[in-house]
Amino acid sequence: MQYESNLKSVRKHKVPDWYHDAKLGIFIHWGLFSVPGFAVKRDYNESREEEDHFTQNPYAEWYLNTLRIQESPTQKYHRESYGEDFSYDDFVPIFNNEILKWNPEDMAELFKKAGAQYVVLVTKHHDGFVLWPSKYPNPKKENYHASRDIVGELSSAVKSKGMKMGFYYSGVLDWSFNPNSIITEKDMLMNQIMPSEYLEYANNHWYELIDKYEPIILWNDIGYPWGTNIYEIFAYFYNKYPEGVINDRWIQMHENAIQALQTVPSETIKKAESYMLKWEERALKRKKNKKTRVRKAVHYDFLTPEYLSFKVILDQKWETTRGIGNSFGYNKLETEDDYMTSEELIRMFIDIVSKNGNLLLNVGPMADGTIPEIQKQRLLDLGKWLNGNGEAIYRTRPWERAEGTTLNGVEVRFTQNSEAFFIILLDKPKDNKFTVKSLKLEKNSCVNLLSLEENLDWKQEGENLTISIPERIEDSPAYSLKVLPKPDY
């Protein structure tokens, strides 16, 4: 169909099957902030509740903003490491020299081995530095772009390996246009008031990225400046790429509304910003506690909770995004203890998929494009697990319910495809039998472990299902069992 530039028309767009099927994407935060690679070590969700969140921001990609805050840890680090007269812009030649070492094919190959089906590259973060040679240069800063066409080179490498490509763009924050530091939630709102020339600049960038590099995902961040019809961008994109998808972070706020919010208590603003958690609270209050619909105030194809998940299945497609550690950008202070273990990552991923979600897992390369070894190992471990268990993940959909447990307390998740039903144990059973509570199979059902070809013995014990497994199974973060035919509920 042809989409028109209005909400009614673009809302007719359906989330394509490929995006439902894909499950795993890789996010890349890479830019000038990768040169210092510094942020305090702090749990993101906990820090959001603290008054000093922006002063001690755990996100290394926010380096420039934190640098502008007097006596912040970042400002102290910067002064000690680079001197009083070294500005953020002085990272440009260092970064551009470092990226000469980067091999896009190696990076794409790692993502392929991880089992990723798509990649989302940050083309411009809040600092305003862009990773492609745009026809629309920054009017505030000369040569404020990467010396290599990172967007183009990585897009080609990713697509050549059968993955899809998407682009992140910081829509309403650009600190090269608005130099005021963000210290409070209200500052965050005021920072979204941009000069008129920025609107045309941002619009031109989106159209250029769409036309020149042919992305399949538009991933805008924070919001979009008032004064443009965002549905023109959406319709243009959908008409060129009907299988494309758009995220939910395009909210536009008029300057008058932002100014009015300055009279609202900060605590109220904080509560409004935690709306992701409110969805879950409302979902848990529903009597059926099964699939839950989230009301769409603006158009999007998928929701984007950050470092969050849900307890229930959502009707709307969603994609949680997070780093393997506590930062998106590379933070050299993070050690093994600051990263998820491979077991935690794999189990979290399974849980997300069982509830109609995708995982957009972030990597934060060093300035030269090197993926830190701990991050790389987590990706490879995830890919290894998917090699043996991918049938229970890719191309699946949520079942009637997402969660279950065994009698001895092992957590269970459920998925299904058009033919089969999958039971995924999030730990190794303590012996060669386990019983899943409140699960019934058809009498003629066949059950097998995906890593083994033989059928397993099972029996129905009232409302519960007992399955026998071989003693020789290898240790694994999770075990996937395939059931044919699917239970008829």
Domain locations along the chain: 7-392, 397-484
Which pLDDT does position 270 carry in this prediction?
62
Q: What fold does the segment set 397-484 form as a domain?
A: Immunoglobulin-like (2.60.40)
pLDDT, one tens digit per residue, over 383-431 is 999 999 999 999 999 999 999 999 999 999 999 999 999 999 999 998 8
- CA dist 332 and 391 (Å) reads 36
In sequence order, the β-bridge partners of residue 245 are 217
CB atoms within 10 A of CB 53: 21
CA dist 151 and 336 (Å) reads 30
Tell me, what's the pLDDT at 281?
43
Are 252 and 230 contacting, i.e. CB atoms less than 8 angstroms apart? yes
pLDDT in tens, 273-292: 554 444 444 544 443 444 55
pLDDT tens string 59-105: 999 999 999 999 999 999 999 999 999 999 999 999 999 999 999 99
Residues, the chain: 489
Given the structure tokens 């040679």, which residue do they identify? 133
Distance separating alpha carbons of residues 100 and 94, to the nearest angstrom: 10
Average per-residue pLDDT for the chain: 92
Rg (alpha carbons) of the chain, rounded to whole number: 23
CATH of 7-392 among 3.40.50.720, 3.60.21.10, 3.20.20.80, 3.40.190.150: 3.20.20.80
CA 374 to CA 267: how far, in whole Å? Answer: 37
Alpha carbon distances (Å) from 389 to 202, 311, 358, 392: 42, 23, 16, 6
CB 241: neighbour CB atoms within 10 A?
A: 16
Burial class (CB in 10 A: 0-12, 13-18, 19+), 16: middle
- CA–CA gap between residue 217 and residue 233 (Å, rounded): 13
Name the least confident of 132-141, 177-186, 271-280. 271-280
pLDDT tens, residue by residue, 317-371: 999 999 999 999 999 999 999 999 999 999 999 999 999 999 999 999 999 999 9
The domains spanning 7-392 and 397-484 adopt the same CATH topology: no
Mean pLDDT value across residues 37-62: 88
Contact 368, 30 (CB under 8 A): no
pTM here is 0.94
Most distant CA atoms of the chain, gap in Å = 76
